[in-house]
Structure 1
Amino acid sequence: MRSLIAWQGAGGAPVPDRALTVEQARERYRASSARPYREDERCYAAVAAADRTIDTEDGSSIRCRVYTPEADEHRVLTFLHGGGWVLGDLDSHDRACRMLAVSLGAVVVSADYRRPPEFPYPVPLRDAVAATRWTAGAFPGREHVVAGDSAGASLSLGVALDARDTGGPDLAALLLVYPPVDPSLELAAACDHAEGYLLSVEDMAWNYDMYVPDPERRGDPAVDLLNADLRGLPPVVLATAEFDPLHDEGVRLAGELEASGVPVRHVPGPGLVHGYFLMQDMVPAAAACSRLVVGELHAVLRSLSAPRAT
C-alpha cells in the first residue's frame, strides 16, 4: 500500500480531482481502473455480462450491466458504484462486480446512475432506487442484496431507507464498503488520517459540493445518514479502512445501526486506505480483506436461508 501511495505521488503531490475539469477527473478515474485481468482472475473475466437500459421515474433511462455467473445460488445483487457520486461508471467497477458475482453465486446488476454536477441529488438516489426495483422485478424470488462502495454505499443505505418506507422491494442484506454518511465532515476532519492517503477531507468537500449543492438538502435523511432513523433495515455488512478520512464515521454508523436493532457485521481494514475494494489485483492485503468482507455477506445470506429450529 505504501508503494501504491508513493507511485501515485511520484513527481510531486498528485493533482486532486477538484483541480481538474469533471471530464478530466472522470477519465483519469476510468483509466486508473482499466487493468487487464491476471491469469488467476480468469474466472472473473469469464462471467457473462450484458448491458440493459431501464426506465427511471422521471421518464429518463439509465444503463445497467447484468453479470451472470456459472454457479447460480439464486441470489441477486444490485451494485451502486463509488467515485464520490461524480466519478465512476460501469467500466470502473467491472472487476469488483465480476468478483462479487463469482464469490456469491449471484446475478449482479450494476447501475450506471446519473451523476452530478449535471444531475445532483436526489437524481442519483432516485436512479439507484429505480435500478433496485427493476432488479427485484427482473429476478423475483431471489435473495436480494444492495451493495456499494464509497458513494455507492451511501446510495445503498438511502435505497434501503426508501424500500423500508415505501413497502419494498424486500432486501435480504446490505453491503456497505467505506460509506460517506456525515456531510458535515466533522468526523472526517478530526480523523487521524484526514490527509495523505489517496482521499482527503478537501476531496470529500468537493464531492459533497457536486452531489448536494444546496446546503439545506444536506440534512435530508438520505444524505445525513448518521442522523437518519435506521430502524427496520436488513442485516448490514459494513467495511471500513484504517487509513481513511471516512473511517470514524463508518465505525459510528456501525454503532448507530446496532443501537437501532439492525444486525451488523463490521469488517475493519487494518493497514488499508479508501478505495481498497478496487485494488484487489494490486495489493494482496486489499484482496484478503475484500474476501473477508464477501465472506461475511455470504455468512449473513446463509443464516437467512438456514432452516430454523421449532
Structure 2
Amino acid sequence: MPLDRILRHLITWQSADGPPASARALSVEQARERYLANAIRPHREDGGPGTAVTAVDRTIGSTDGSSFRVRVYSPDSDENRVVTYLHGGGWVLGDVDSHDQVCRVLAASLGAVVVSADYRRAPEFPYPAPLRDAIAAARWTARSFPGRDHVIGGDSAGASLALGVAFDARDTGDIAFAAQLLVYPAVDPSLIIASACEHAEGYLLSVDDMAWNYEQYVPDPRRRGEPAVDLLNANLKDLPPTVLATAEFDPLHDEGVELGERLCASGVSVRHVPGPGLVHGYFLMQDIVPAAAACARQAVQELDAVLRSARSEPR
C-alpha cells in the first residue's frame, strides 16, 4: 500500500528545507523539546475520544528505592479492566504528557483504568532504571486495582519495556496479565533487521535514530545481549495473549513481524494489526491522520476481543 497521503505531505513539508536534523545532531533537551512539540495536542472539548476521562497524578516507589510519577486515567464507562501503559520515545524522549491523549483514548475506548508510567529516562538513568520503574508501575497497578483484567502495554520503546515487564511477571509470578499490547516495539538492539528493512530511512524514524536511542539507553554494548534488551532472542514462552501492531513504513516493521512469528512459535496467541501506509509513531497522530486513528481503533478492538474471550473461558 502507498504511504498515507497526509503522512506523505507531512514528510514533504518537514523536508522542504532539507532533511530534519537527526536526534544525534541535537542535545538531549533539544530532542525532547522537539518530540513534545510534535506530540502534544490541545485538549478537545467537543466530545471527541478521551474527553469522558478523568486523570490524576500520583507518586510511587520504584524497585530500587527511587520514586517516579504515574498518571491514572479513569473512564466514565468501566469494563473492570486496567492497563499499565509505557510511553514511547526511544527510552530518552516522551513522557506522560506526550502520551496523554493516547492514554485518554485508550481508557475511553477500552473501558479501562489506564496507569501511565513516567519512568526515568536515559541517558540520565540508563538501563535497567526505566525497566525497574516499569515493573514497579505494573506491580503498583496490580495492588491498587485488584480483580481487574490487567493489560501491560506500550508503544515503541514503551512496548519493549512492556515485554520486559511481561518477562518479569512470568518469571516471578507477581502479576497474571490478561493480555499485552505491543505497538511497533523495538526488540533487536543489533539493528540488523531494521537496517535491511525496505523503509529504513526517510519516514520520520531512521535506523541512525534508533542506534542513538540504544546508545543512550544501554551505553555498555555488552549489556545489549541481555534478554530484557535483546527481546527478539529471549525466551518468549508462557507470555500473555498479545496484540501486536506494526507500521508498514517503519524501520522496526520487519523485526515486529519477526517477533510475532517467534511468539506464535513459542505458543503465544498473537493478533497482528498491520499498519498499511503508516509510519512509526502513528499512535500519536490519531487526531490528524484518519488512517492512524482507524488502525489504533483496530488494535483496541483486537485487545477488547482478547479480553472478552478470556472472560468467557472457564476458570
TM-score of Structure 1 vs Structure 2, range by shorter chain: over 0.9
Q: 1:98-177 maps to which residues of 2 (within 5 A)?
A: 98-177=104-183
DSSP 3-state at the match of 2:55? strand
After TM superposition, give the deviation of residue 112 of structure 1 in Å.
0.3
> Does the alignment pair 1:30 with 2:36?
yes
Give the residue type in structure 2 aligned to 1:97.
C
Are positions 1:214 and 2:245 aligned together? no
Distance across 2 between alignment mates of 1:119 and 1:165: 25
Separation in structure 1 between the aligned mates of residue 313 and residue 161 of structure 2, nearest angstrom: 32
- Identity, in percent, stands at 72
Separation in 2 of the partners of 1:52 and 1:10? 42
1:42 aligns with 2:48: yes
Deviation at 1:135, TM superposition (A): 0.3
Q: What RMSD over aligned residues (CA atoms) do the two structures have, in Å?
A: 1.2
Aligned to 1:291: 297
Matched, 1:246 2:245: no
What residue in structure 2 maps to residue 259 of structure 1? 265
Q: Which residue of 1 aligns with 2:281?
A: 275
Report the AA paired with residue 106 of structure 2. L
TM-score w.r.t. length of structure 1:
0.97
Structure 1 segments unaligned to the other structure (5+ residues): none
Give, as a single letter, the amino acid of the residue that structure 2 aligns with 1:54.
I
Residue 244 of structure 1 aligns to a residue whose secondary structure is coil
SS in 2 for 1:92: coil
Q: Aligned AA for 1:135?
A: T
For structure 2, the residue ranges without an aligned partner over 5 or more in a row are 1-6
- Tell me the number of residue pairs that the alignment of Structure 1 and Structure 2 aligns: 309
Matching of residue 202 in structure 1 with residue 213 in structure 2: no
User: Which moves more between the two structures, 154-163 or 10-19?
Assistant: 10-19
Q: Are residues 140 and 308 of structure 1, via their aligned partners in 2, closer, same or farther at CA, if it must alter by over 3 Å?
A: closer
For the 8 Å contact 2:64–2:132, the answer to whether it is kept is: no
User: TM (normalized to structure 2)?
Assistant: 0.96
Structure 1 stretch 92-101 or stretch 30-39: which is displaced more?
30-39
CA deviation map 1:196-244 (0-9, x unaligned): 0000000000000000001110000010011100100000000000000
Q: For the residues of structure 2 that align with 1:35 and 1:112, how far apart are their CA atoms?
A: 18
Amino acid at match of 1:306: S
CA offsets, 1:237-270, max 9 Å, x none? 0000000000000000000000000000011001
The yes-or-no answer on 1:52 pairing with 2:58 is yes
Q: What letter matches 2:212 in structure 1?
A: W
Q: 1:230 to 1:94 in 2, by over 3 A?
A: same
* Residue pair 2:74, 2:114 contacting (<8 A) in 1 also: yes
Give the secondary structure class of the aligned counterpart of 1:53. Answer: strand
- Secondary structure at the residue paired with 2:50? helix
CA shift digits 1:126-169 (9 cap, x unpaired): 10000000000000111000110000000000000000001121
Describe the shift of the 1:41–1:115 C-alpha distance in structure 2 as closer, same or farther (beyond 3 A): farther
Q: Mean Cα displacement is larger for which, 177-186 or 299-308?
A: 299-308
Partner residue of 1:8 out of 14, 20, 27 = 14
CA distance in 2, matches of 1:190, 1:61: 40
State the shift of 1:188 in Å: 0.3
Aligned partner of residue 124 in structure 1, secondary structure: helix
AA aligned opposite 2:18 = G
* Aligned equivalent of 2:308: 302
Shift of 1:31: 1.5
Shift of 1:39: 5.8
Q: Which amino acid aligns with 2:213?
A: N
Look up the equivalent residue of 1:21 and give its one-letter code: S
